[in-house]
Each structure stands twice: as structure tokens, then as C-alpha cells.
Structure 1
Amino acid sequence: MSHRVLFVCTGNVCRSPMAMALFNARARRAGEDHLYHARSTGTWALDDTPASAHAITALATRGIDLTAHRGQTITRALLDQAAVVIVMTRSHRDALVSEFPAARAKIYLMSELVDRVYDIADPYGGTLAEYEDCATSLENLIETGYEKIKSWIHKPAR
């Protein structure tokens, strides 16, 4: 059985697809991609929108291909299928809890991976350097917090 991690941002073209791809690459390196798999979605996404060009480039430099990604808006089904939901900002968390209160216990901020509370800045419309910075931040959080994500999946509801 594969445990699904759902990463959430706003448009599902920058932060959450990068986090999804970085997490899946990390699970592959650990030989655990049969156990853990990430998807991504957005609170205001337009379905079938490709990842932004800079997001694709930022991950390509890390050997990760994001060209097949297509955005999708959040649905109850996506939330229900996820063992853990990881959001980029407090406003994403608040919006999801407001719309889907039953999911509250499995929603975490990305920054909680390092026991902090802060928002991951949206690089949308920014320079390639801003996307690279965002990708580096996400990569570091996932590398540092990979075991914590697994513990969130396997712990009782909070």
C-alpha cells in the first residue's frame, strides 16, 4: 500500500509541484517510492495548467523532470486520498480547514518540518533565481523533514 502525501499551494504551478517532485525523488532515493508517493494541488488552480517554465528549469538542474505536470484544483477526493496534507502557507491551511474541517488533523505547514511556523514565499512571476531559491528551500525542508513526514503519516490523528 502506498501512502499518499498531498502538497498544496495556490496555483499548483510552482511550489506544490516542486515539493511533490522533490519528495518523490527523495522517496525513490530511499528505495521507498513503493511506500510513499506525493501529488500536488492548488487552492485556486486552473486544471491542466503546466508547471511554470522557471519551476521546470529549477528542477531540471536537479535532474527532475516536471514537464508532464498539470495543475489541478483541490477536491474532497484528493484530500480523502491523502494520508498527510502539507501546505505552503498559513492561509492555505486556514482555507482548507474552513472548507474541509474533517481534514484538520492531517494538514501541516511545510515549515513544520523544521519545527517552525512560517510561509513559503510564492515565486510566481519572479526571476529564475527566485525559483531556484524556492526549490532549494523546499529541497532542504524535504531532506531534513523526510522522516518527519513519514511519522506524520503513521501517527494517530492529532
Structure 2
Amino acid sequence: MDMKKILFVCTGNTCRSPMAQGLCQKYISENALVGQFGCASAGLDVKKGARISENALIVMNEIGVDMSSHRAKMVTAEMMQEADCVFTMSSTHKNMLEALFPKDANKIRVLGHPIFDPYGQNLEFYRFSRDSLKDKVYTAMDEFREDLARQKALEEEEQHKAELFGGIYGRYY
């Protein structure tokens, strides 16, 4: 199986989407999926190179996720094209991505509601956001893996039918 790539998108790529990326990396590690899944994050209105917010860095460190090397990135057509699934933090982000990248609209999903933007808030609010994101990221990853397993099973069934009947469902004589 090729590595599946997940992209998380928010506004500035300094709070929600990098926290979601860090949580996804934690999920990948905890579920022994390194090499099978990869994740990244980006924003729609980014101050290029900005660091993750201080409070986001603190609350992610509290759960053993080091985000100190994160730098904000603007979402690009290449990122969208390479991603197998794109999770946004709001329906507004989803709508903006669909308008900017219509060819990739079928892979864009809202991660869940509500995902409040903790920007400028206190540590307690960041913890609340982190914990809410963790639930949503872990659930989304479980569902994405289930979808992939179903898709693989269907492909294997189609392949088996093709082998049984020769070609694409064979030549009926």
C-alpha cells in the first residue's frame, strides 16, 4: 500500500491545524502505522514561517508531542494534489479550499464541529481545543482507515471476479 497522506488546514497554520498534525502523528505512532500514513498542515491566510503559537506548543508538549520545529505554510495546489484526504477546521475553510482547488473537492472534509480557534486564548482554552481535536483526529483516522479497508476489499473482490470470469467479467458465451 502506498503511503496515505493527510493534510490539515486552518486559517493561519499556527494553532489548530498544526495541533491536528501533531495529534495525527501521535496516532500514527501509537497504531504502528509509520510508513503507511503521513500528515502535514497548512493554512489559508498565513504569515509564512510563523512559529506555532506559544500556548499550542506548551499544550502539545504536555502530551509528549514536540511541535517546536513547526513553521506556518500556505496551502498549495501541490499539497492538495498529493493529499489523499484533507481535513479542515471549519466549513468556511472547506468552502474556500473547494473554490481554490475544485479538482480536489472530493477529498476535502470538515474535521468536526465545533473546533474553536484558540488563538490568543489562555492555556485552559488551548487544552480544551487540543483534547477536542484529539477526539476528532483519532475518530477521523479510524474512519479513514475503515474506508480504505472497505475500498481494498472491494478492489480484491473485483479482481477475484475478473480472474474467475476472465477479463472484466469475462466473455459470456
Counterpart of 2:75, as a letter, is I
Shift of 1:69: 0.4
Counterpart of 1:73, as a letter, is M
Q: 1:152 to 1:18 in 2, by over 3 A?
A: farther
Alignment of 1:77-156 (within 5 A): 77-111=78-112, 118-151=113-146, 155=151
Structure 1 unaligned runs (5+)? 112-117
Name the CA distance, whole Å, in 1 between partners of 2:101 and 2:22.
Answer: 25
Alignment of 1:28-107 (within 5 A): 28-107=29-108
Name the CA distance, whole Å, in 2 between partners of 1:148 and 1:121.
Answer: 22
Aligned residues: 150
SS, match of residue 37 in structure 1: strand
Ranked by relative contact order (alpha carbons within 8 Å, sequence separation 6 or more), the top structure is: 1
Post-superposition CA distance 1:20-68 (Å, at most 9, x none): 0100111111110210011000010122111000000010000010100
Identity score, percent: 28
Counterpart of 1:134, as a letter, is S
SS, match of residue 68 in structure 1: coil
What residue number does 1:114 align with? none
Structure 2 unaligned runs (5+)? 153-173
Shift of 1:144: 2.7
Counterpart of 1:65, as a letter, is D
**TM superposition score normalised by structure 2:** 0.82
Name the CA distance, whole Å, in 1 between partners of 2:148 and 2:85.
Answer: 6
Q: Tell me how large the CA RMSD over aligned residues is.
A: 1.5
**TM superposition score normalised by structure 1:** 0.90
SS, match of residue 40 in structure 1: strand
CA contact (8 A) 1:84 1:153 kept: no
CA contact (8 A) 1:89 1:109 kept: yes
Post-superposition CA distance 1:82-110 (Å, at most 9, x none): 00000000100000011111111000010
Bigger radius of gyration:
2
Name the CA distance, whole Å, in 2 between partners of 1:145 and 1:103.
Answer: 19
Name the CA distance, whole Å, in 1 between partners of 2:85 and 2:114.
Answer: 18
SS, match of residue 73 in structure 1: coil
Post-superposition CA distance 1:121-149 (Å, at most 9, x none): 10001111111100000111122332112
Counterpart of 2:43, as a letter, is G
